[in-house]
Amino acid sequence: MSETEMKPTQDEEAARNQKMERLIVAGEVALALMHELRNKLNIIRGSLYYVRTKLAEPINADEKLKKHMERADKDIQSMVYLMEKSLRFAKDKALEMQPFDLSQLVEESLLFLTGNTMVDLVRDYRGDTFIISCDTEQLRLVFTNLIINAVQAMEGKGQLTVTMLKREPGEVTVAFTDIGKGISPENRAKLFTSFFTTKTACTGLGLAMCQRITKLHNGRIEVESEMGKGTTFTVILPSRPTGSPA
């Protein structure tokens, strides 16, 4: 076999490097995940220990016991969501593209706010239909994550404005605008870096995952923020299904 035949091609080298990068990220995700799970499980263990000491008492008559049970339930839900985000970030999964109305996908994501009377939701949809080609499951995760971030930025209350419009040539945008405290220029530059976060009990994978999924859809995310006034995350996607004629 000649030296030329033994030498890997440029495409093979690129594929190998990408695989190595995924393995490194997967390892980092696993470590962060184990750290978060350990903390959450310790909280649950403490709550369950208290419950065991109160089993002889009626649950409905003990408000403190009810709060401990609710706290355990919320932590379990938080773990499930954290695992889902982490695994999706590390997994090399091909997109399952299909034509879909983007406004319907946004509305499904907004179901997260059902029953939340502290958030004033304002919709500004400038158009009738917004058909794109997308993986609905993954793109829904992007929108849900941005909605959660917006609500957290406002500390659970305030006005969230969702704006949807068509751009030329061939783009559609979805913008989520909160009235939170804003993001400093220094932190804005790090927003999409894996594991960067300014929140407690958070892995910092959410926005990195959002950017990765959006790029896989040939789109991008833009951020505008002003300290003391709020932040807008805008998801920009191709409006034509992949492979359709221009």
pLDDT at 117: 77
Position 162 scores a pLDDT of 97
175: left (phi over 0), alpha (psi -120 to 50) or beta: beta
Residue 33 CA, chain-centre distance (Å), reads 16
Cα 112 to the center of its chain, rounded Å: 13
Q: What is the pLDDT of residue 198?
A: 65
| pLDDT at residue number 200 | 57
Q: Do the bridges between strand 119-126 and strand 158-167 make them parallel or antiparallel, or are there none, so unpaired?
A: parallel
**SS3 annotation, 150-217:** HHHHCCCCEEEEEEEEEECCCEEEEEEECCCCCCCHHHHCCCCCCCCCCCCCCCCCHHHHHHHHHHHC
Nearest to 75 by CA among 38, 120, 130: 38
Q: Which residue has the tokens 């179901």?
A: 111
Alpha carbon of residue 167 to chain centroid = 24
* Backbone CA torsion sign across 24, 25, 31, 34: negative
- 3-class DSSP assignment, residue 101: strand
The reported pLDDT for the residue numbered 180 is 93
pLDDT number for residue 80: 64
Range 72-102 burial, b when 16+ CB lie within 10 A, else e: beebeeebeebeebbebbbeeeeeebeebeb
CA–CA separation, 125 vs 165, rounded Å? Answer: 6
Task: Give dist(CA 139, CA 235) in Å, integer.
Answer: 10
Whether the model pTM is above 0.85: no
Task: Check residue 113 and give its pLDDT.
Answer: 82
Q: What is the mean pLDDT of each run of 10 residues along the chain (246 residues)?
A: 56 70 68 66 70 63 68 67 60 78 92 81 89 90 90 91 89 95 88 68 71 92 94 92 45
